[in-house]
């Protein structure tokens, strides 16, 4: 591998890391316009393994907006990111897959802007799989699959789904 190829790989990995971080921040902040900008026009998301729905990014964003309204204070912590470049058959360097584990605390208290919350109401964790393609506008999500592995209500009724 040449130095130029190594630099391109590092740049791609940093861009993919930024894309996944932007996804978490968009969901945490309830910025559904930003969420939609992360996807390709035909992008899809699948939250069925977390008690949710599967569909195009717009439909899923609407569903997430409703579900997240119940938990105005939320934070996604993405860890153990694994990046694989060139994941599609006949790839020319324009596809990738990012797998990341997550822990997601959420609360019904507070104002969503960092004000003191009444306490933690829900704690969940699992894995997100992001299928990504390079577009003229940079890397974009073509598919997101959320696989919740565990959920623990920590106070009150906690049947909401947020990922």
H or E segment and range at residue 43: strand 39-46
Say what the pTM is.
Answer: 0.85
CA 97 to chain centre: 13
Tell me the pLDDT tens digit for each residue of 91-127.
677 999 999 999 999 998 765 455 544 578 889 999 9
Average pLDDT over residues 10-38: 96
DSSP string, 123-161: EEEEEEEEEEEEETTEEEEEEEEEEEEEEEE-SS-----
Average pLDDT over residues 38-54: 96
Task: Tell me what the pLDDT averaged over the chain comes to.
Answer: 88
The residue among 7, 2, 8 whose CA lies nearest residue 93 is 8
- pLDDT recorded at residue 6: 79
The residue among 35, 15, 57 whose CA lies nearest residue 143 is 57
CA distance 149 to 136: 35
CA distance 129 to 98: 6
Q: Is residue 52's pLDDT more than 50?
A: yes
Structure tokens at 142: 């073509």
Query: Which residues 6+ apart lie within 8 Å of 111 measured at CB?
Result: 72
């Amino acid at each position: 591998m040449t130095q130029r190829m190594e630099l391109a790989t590092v740049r791609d990995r940093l861009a993919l890391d930024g894309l996944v971080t932007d996804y978490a921040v968009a969901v945490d902040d309830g910025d559904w316009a930003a969420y939609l900008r992360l996807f390709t026009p035909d992008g899809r998301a699948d939250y069925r393994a977390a008690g949710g729905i599967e569909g195009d990014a717009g439909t899923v964003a609407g569903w997430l907006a409703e579900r997240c309204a119940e938990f105005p204070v939320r934070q996604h912590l993405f860890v153990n990111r694994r990046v694989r470049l060139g994941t599609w058959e006949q790839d020319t360097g324009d596809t990738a897959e990012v797998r990341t584990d997550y822990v997601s605390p959420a609360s019904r208290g507070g104002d969503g802007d960092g004000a003191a919350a009444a306490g933690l109401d829900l704690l969940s964790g699992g894995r997100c799989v992001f299928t990504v393609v390079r577009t003229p506008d940079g890397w974009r999500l073509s598919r997101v699959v959320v696989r919740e592995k565990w959920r623990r209500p920590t106070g009150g009724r906690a049947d909401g789904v947020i990922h």
